[in-house]
Amino acid sequence: MGIGDLLLTLLTLYSFVLFGRAIMSWFDPTFSSQIGRVVYDITEPLISPIRQVVPPIAGLDLSIMVAIFLVYILRMLIASALAG
């Protein structure tokens, strides 16, 4: 397993954590549980700058969707670089 494969695996795991954060925000919006705090601490460094650029639309925070999309694009770029 090379560095590229490791990056792809880490990005895949990170996208699952981002998706988990989206789901958890429905049940624990303050992330007060222990697992909620861990997920928040892992994902907030990416979500916060996106939230500053992408404002909520009709009260809906789209920053998590943008983050998932950006991670997906990064995965595709790395995968295509490894394939080429």
Per 3-state DSSP, the chain is made up of helix, strand and coil in percentages (nearest 5) of 80, 0, 20
Q: What is the DSSP letter of 50?
A: H
How many CA atoms, within 13 angstroms, populate the side-chain half-sphere of residue 53? 9
User: CA nearest 61: which of 25, 16, 24?
Assistant: 25
Report pLDDT digits (tens) over 34-83: 999 999 999 999 999 999 999 889 988 899 999 999 999 999 999 999 98
Q: Where are the beta strands (DSSP E) in the chain?
A: none
Instruction: Please give the pLDDT value at position 24.
Output: 94
Q: What global pTM score does this model have?
A: 0.89
Report pLDDT digits (tens) over 17-26: 999 999 999 9
Q: Does residue 1 register a pLDDT over 90?
A: no
Report pLDDT digits (tens) over 28-47: 989 999 999 999 999 999 99
User: CA nearest 66: which of 36, 46, 39?
Assistant: 46
